[in-house]
Amino acid sequence: MATKQTWALITGASSGIGKAVAFEFAGKGYNLFLTSWDEQPLQQVAADCHQQFNVETQAYVADLSRPESVDGLIRALFAPPIEIEFLVNNAGFGVGGEFLKTDLAQELNLLNVQLAAMLKLTKAVLPQMRARKKGRILNVASVYSFAPAPFQAVYSGCKAFLLTFSESLREELKGTGVTVTVLCPGTVRTEFRARAGIAHRNDAAGASPEAVAKIAVRQTLRGKHLVVPGFANRVFVFVTRRLPVSVVPGVVRFINSTRGVNK
């Protein structure tokens, strides 16, 4: 149950799934500490959530690819401290293309945003969750957590790490009152693919971020571990987990070719 002291910390909250998750939590009465690198839309999300749902909101601009920016965000959480009951590690982006030709600096930034920042934030807020015996962590991964994706090698590798880390941490926290949920969506109608330089044939394909966020928040509140929205995505995960490991990358490459990805 939401209280005036209960906050949700959401990264990548200025657009896409992060923005939709912010509205879901605000609609349930939770205060929001929102962060993103994109200041104007971030401030707008914070203002809209406050106006529509009368919850407290804070917007903190941070480039999570920079370690010093993550450190500044953590300091802001504890000065003065607020009670973070929900941590949503959503921030991320993709890098598409042949690994031999992609930009290394961009890929290192991807690792910082999706892995290093996630680890730092989790390490920062987990002690107070454990002490209160109450907390929920939501890590946003992908169906690629289960299947290597040629031409998105670093991105799919990050998502595999997120899944394994989430599963390991959940087991460590059994019986503590703190749960870990990992969200593994398929294609979502956001600007992700365009920003990643990934070609595709159908801009209308995939789920809406609002639909994904509704499922994710509901299941996080229930303490469910693995959330794969959409029947087709669940079939994909089911099949790829049962195929020989050596076969899966070729299957993913074929599927993405038929979808026009990287063409």
Judged against a pLDDT cut of 70, whether residue 85 lies above it is answered with yes
Residue 76 CA, chain-centre distance (Å), reads 21
Torsion angle of the four alpha carbons 152, 154, 182, 117, in this order, in degrees rounded to the nearest 10: -140
Classify residue 89 as exposed, middle or buried by CB count within 10 Å of its CB (0-12, 13-18, 19+).
buried
pLDDT, residue 3, reads 55
pLDDT, residue 175, reads 96
Judged against a pLDDT cut of 60, whether residue 199 lies above it is answered with no
Task: Bin 198: left if φ > 0, else alpha if -120 < ψ < 50, else beta.
Answer: beta
Cβ(67)–Cβ(40) below 8 Å: no
DSSP string over 200-248 = -S-TT-SB-HHHHHHHHHHHHHHT-SEE--SHHHHHHHHHHTTS-TTTH
Judged against a pLDDT cut of 90, whether residue 189 lies above it is answered with no
Cα–Cα distance measured from residue 262 to residue 199, given in angstroms and rounded to the nearest whole number: 5
pLDDT, residue 89, reads 98
Query: Within 13 Å, how many C-alpha atoms sit on residue 154's CB side?
Result: 25
Confidence of residue 203 (pLDDT cuts 50, 70, 90): low
Judged against a pLDDT cut of 60, whether residue 207 lies above it is answered with yes
**Quick one: how many helices (H) and strands (E) in the chain?**
10, 7
Cα–Cα distance measured from residue 153 to residue 161, given in angstroms and rounded to the nearest whole number: 12
Pick the CATH number of 6-258 from 3.40.50.150, 3.30.450.190, 3.40.1350.10, 3.40.50.720: 3.40.50.720
Cβ(130)–Cβ(229) below 8 Å: no
Percent of the chain predicted with pLDDT > 70? 92
| pLDDT, tens digit, 9 for 90 and up, residues 209-258 | 999 999 999 999 999 999 999 999 999 899 998 888 888 878 888 888 88
Confidence of residue 69 (pLDDT cuts 50, 70, 90): very high
Among residues 193, 130, 122, 116, the alpha carbon closest in space to that of 158 is found at 116
Cβ(52)–Cβ(22) below 8 Å: no
Phi first, then psi, for residue 229 (nearest 5°) are -75, 135
Q: Which one of 30, 60, 144, 155 is the catalytic residue?
A: 155
Cα–Cα distance measured from residue 230 to residue 98, given in angstroms and rounded to the nearest whole number: 29
Q: Can 155 be counted among the known catalytic residues?
A: yes
> Span 142-167, mean pLDDT?
95
Judged against a pLDDT cut of 80, whether residue 263 lies above it is answered with no
pLDDT, residue 241, reads 87
Judged against a pLDDT cut of 70, whether residue 192 lies above it is answered with no
pLDDT, residue 258, reads 81
